[in-house]
Structure formats: structure tokens, C-alpha cells
Amino acid sequence: MKAIQVLVCGAAGRMGREVVRAVAAQPDMKLVGAVDVTEGGRDIGELAGAGGGVKVRGDLANALDAAKPEVMVDFTLPGAVMGNLRTAIGRKVACVAGTTGFTQEDLDVVYGLCKAHQTPCLIAPNFAIGAVLMMQFAAEAARHFDAAEIIELHHDQKKDAPSGTSRRTAEMMRRAKDGRLDGLAKDEDSPSRGLGEGKIRIHAVRLPGLVAHQEVIFGGLGETLTIRHDSISRESFMPGVLLAIRKVRALSGLTVGLEKIL
């Protein structure tokens, strides 16, 4: 069976290097390209400790044309990911994006690109299997409670706040069948009350020492329910990333959320 040809964009970053190591360890995958604007010309094996023999390129278009990958994995920055997806989808390369910060307008653009080029793309705010289950459990609980808040905690280098995972969780809770958390949050002027997403408030914490953590707290008559997930290392995201690489080419158009392929 032919190995899946994979290019990693943002390969020199913390998540990118983790993806490089994970892909290089799979017998059914082959790392054929690595792109990063900060480490052009270096062997990715020197940076990631795996995937040796692949030089990091600074230009995505040139890397795609040279490596001819079947799947591009993007873990870059919110300001770069849209351009990267345009470049890759325009060349009919299936995409897996873990970069967060997408707006609805961004998703609409990606949907149009996928349709125009008949090329699939999977965007997931979180690739940890436990985090996906946490979101699904929260959506189920939303059918039974009238009040909930989300606290998300990430490392201090994370660019967006609140996180894509917390926004996705709130969206799933609001859209839950027979859910009770749609509508608007109570009017609050204090910034400390967090961002309102429907009736749900989201609070973001950014501190060194953290990786990715989230708890959803529901309040009811005389009780609370807390659903929490913790990623204590970036390895926790790799099973979901590898699953996405294996399945994305069989998808159609734009898919948002890892739960769609579990």
C-alpha cells in the first residue's frame, strides 16, 4: 500500500515538530515536505529529531510544487493559515488545519475554495480525542441545564483568546437538540464576566506551564456539573492528527470538527 505523502506547514513550531515526529513514525505515511518561514534551508530532522532528509522551505507554493504531497497539515498562525489553505487547495492538495482563530467568514471562504477546486479540507479546533469527547458530553449536558460557563486555560504563547475549542464547545452546546443554552447571556458590563456566546460565558487564562485545558461548569438547582479535559503534552493531539491525515482525502468539501470522523 502506497504511503500517504504529507507536507507539514509550520514544521519548526512546537506543534509542527510534534506532527513531523508522528508522521515520520507511521508506516503508512511519508513526510515529503516541511515549510516554515523561520528555518528555511535546515533539515527538519535536526529540528524535530525525525523526518531527516527533508529540507525546510520558506515558501509554501514552491514546496508544494516540489514535493507534490497528497495532504498538507497546517499548524501555523491565524494570520497565515488562510493564505496557506488558498495555496494548497488551489493545487488540489487535501488539507488538515489545526491552526485556530477562524471566523465564520473565513470558514465560508474555505468552503468556497473546497467546492471550486473539488478538494477536501478538515479544520479542527482540537485534535485530542478526550477534548472532542468533552465537547460532545457538554453538548449532551446542555439539554438539561439552564446555565453554564466555560474556563479555558492555555500556554502564554497562544495567540487567540478565547480558544477555538471553547468557541466550538459553546456552539455545540447552543445547537444541542432541545438545548436550553441558546439565546443571549444576561447583560453584563464587566470585562471580567468573559465573552458571551449565547447564554454561555467564556473565560480565557494564559500562563506559562500550561498546555491546553478546559472545563465546562453547569449550574442547576442545588448542584453543579463540571466536565474537564487536560492535555498535559502536545503528544495528546497526535492520534487525532494522524486520524485526520488518513481520512481527509475521503471527505467532501469542508469538514469542521474532529468528531465528524471519529
Catalytic residue among 117, 155, 158, 203: 158
Contact 6, 32 (CB under 8 A): yes
Q: Is 198 helix (H, G, I), strand (E, B) or coil?
A: coil
Cell 509554501 sits on residue: 60
Using the CB atoms, write b or e for 161-174: b if 16+ within 10 Å.
Answer: ebbbbbbbbbbbbb
Cell 479542527 sits on residue: 124
- Closest to 72 in 3D by CA, of 107, 110, 35, 25: 35
What does the alpha-carbon distance between residue 245 and residue 95 come to, in Å, rounded to a whole number? 8
Q: Is 154 a catalytic residue?
A: yes
Q: Is 158 a catalytic residue?
A: yes
Contact 125, 164 (CB under 8 A): yes
C-alpha cell at 35: 515549510
Strand 56-57 relative to strand 212-220, pairing: unpaired
Q: Which helix (H) or strand (E) holds 127?
A: none
Q: How far is CA 86 from the centre of its chain?
A: 17
Contact 50, 20 (CB under 8 A): yes
Catalytic site positions: 154, 158
